[in-house]
Amino acid sequence: MATAAKRPKVTAGGSPAEDGRADPLSGFLDWCEKVGLELSPKVYVSKEGTVSDYGLLAREDLQIGEVLFTIPRAALLSQHTTSIRSLLEKDQASLESQSGWVPLLLSLLHEYTASNSHWRPYFSLWPDFSSLDHPMFWPEEERVRLLQGTGILEAVDKDLANIQLEYTSIILPFMESHLDLFDPKLHTPELYQSLVAFVMAYSFQEPLDEEDEDEKEPNPPMMVPMADILNHVANHNANLEYSLECLKMVTTQPISKGQEIFNTYGQMANWQLLHMYGFAEPYPGNTDDTADIQMVTVRRAALQGASTEAERQLVSEQWDFLCQLEMVGEEGAFVIGWEEVLTEEELSMTLKVLCMAAEEFKEFKEHEGWEEDTEDEESLTLSNETIPRLKASWKKLLRDSALLTLESYRSDLKAEQDLLNDKVAYGKLSPREQQALQVRYGQKRILHQLLELTS
């Protein structure tokens, strides 16, 4: 297994949640017992032998399907279990937001600073949230220098704008209406931002039933004590299962005595892991890694390949038509994985339309994008196997788009390869520089692989 990804370490320090215990872990484990959270005797929580901070380790060999711990729903911290739940329910309409996280964040603001909170021993594991090292906490100059081209800069800018908007337009008015429970001098924008990062890195979202997926909004996030102690790797060996009464962590692979137990946070590319969780998986560990080619970059590549005004006009009309079909948009991206294109329907249609001659496009447009199914279905699948067999014009457009994407980074693949291979130089990098390097390197490797497939 590749070296596991590391969560940022959380250092001890005074905070409203500090309960004065010398050992927060034993206080947390006592609390687990009181709330009916059952931990298997075959596993234990420790900071020793883990990839980062706390983790769960096997005390003895484990088989597939063994239950590691069971968490009753009453122990979960959510908008439905917090001591201010009736208040949140009453003011539900005024707490709606783009993220859908406001009720949980208000619950956390209250419980984290309330001396009598039911979850106080749980919070004592994170006495100082300021140690979370998501890119949203990095100085802007450092973010730009290390992360330009990765997609993280744009995601962080949106996050920071949303956090500020939510705090000033929803959180602050709510707190000012309930000054018996909240104090804006204590529940500051800085604490709010730290709690957003805490929810990003440690919360869980219960999946919807398959039949509800299209109809219902996703479930709001919630904090799941004990489950959030597990670290993540793509090749994980345990998984959280949900039932009506409780949640269970169950092994998905045999695990040897002394091994760390890893959960999965889902199929996450390294840029998503760094943005949401504050770490990246070292190359080549993350089999779920991806590189994005911005949709507008493909348009730019097509315009670049047009040599006359008429051809440029045609590209603009084709792009507008793809927008009408909802295949592309100004902010969307095509997602390229190690083995295949994850957005193959959108990219296939985009390559097809942008590579049409004027007559062919006119006819295609008249049929509103429908046509006789004469083409080999395989032409719509974009994988490492099929990309080399695409039409020459499709391959050229895809190649030009990958080259333009590579230009958006501040460094080239070779410089990063040399740095990764030089253990001494790599060791001298700061943790932020190391994480950012892993993100950039994985993305560039995928884009260079695409260049080879389209050459």
Q: How confident is the model at residue 332 (pLDDT cuts 50, 70, 90)?
A: very high
Total structural domains in the chain?
3
At residue 51, the pLDDT reads 87
Q: Is residue 148 part of a domain?
A: yes
* Residue among 227, 238, 289, 235 nearest 263 (CA): 238
Sole residue written with tokens 């590691």: 68
Which residues touch 188 (CB under 8 Å, ≥6 apart)?
Answer: none
Does residue 412 belong to any structural domain of this protein? Answer: yes
Domain boundary among 277, 302, 320: 277
- Single residue among 223, 242, 267 that ends a domain in this structure: 223
Final residue in a domain of this structure, among 215, 250, 277 = 277
What pLDDT, on a 0 to 100 scale, did the predictor assign at position 371? 63
pLDDT (0 to 100) of residue 444 = 98
pLDDT band at 22 (very low <50, low <70, confident <90, very high): low
Over the chain, what is the mean pLDDT?
Answer: 92
- 212 and 361 both lie in a single domain: no
218 plus 129 within the same structural domain: yes
Say if 229 falls within a structural domain: yes
358 and 218 share one domain: no
Segment 170-199 shows an average pLDDT of: 97
Contact 263, 230 (CB under 8 A): yes
In this structure, are 170 and 242 located in the same domain?
Answer: no
User: Can you tell me which residue has the tokens 């943005």?
Assistant: 275
Instruction: Identify the CA nearest to 14 among candidates 111, 109, 105, 131.
Output: 131
pLDDT band at 197 (very low <50, low <70, confident <90, very high): very high
Average pLDDT (205-211) is 89
In the chain, what percentage of residues exceed pLDDT 70? 93
Q: Is the pLDDT assigned to residue 201 strictly greater than 80?
A: yes
CATH number of the domain to which 420 belongs: 3.90.1420.10
| CATH code (residue 231) | 3.90.1410.10
Clarify whether residues 266 and 238 are in a common domain.
yes
Residue 61 lies in domain? 24-75+225-277
Tokens at 368, concatenated: 């509103």
Asked if residue 3 is part of any domain, the answer here is no
199 in the same domain as 57: no
Residues 442 and 296 in one domain: yes
Residues 295 and 270 in one domain: no
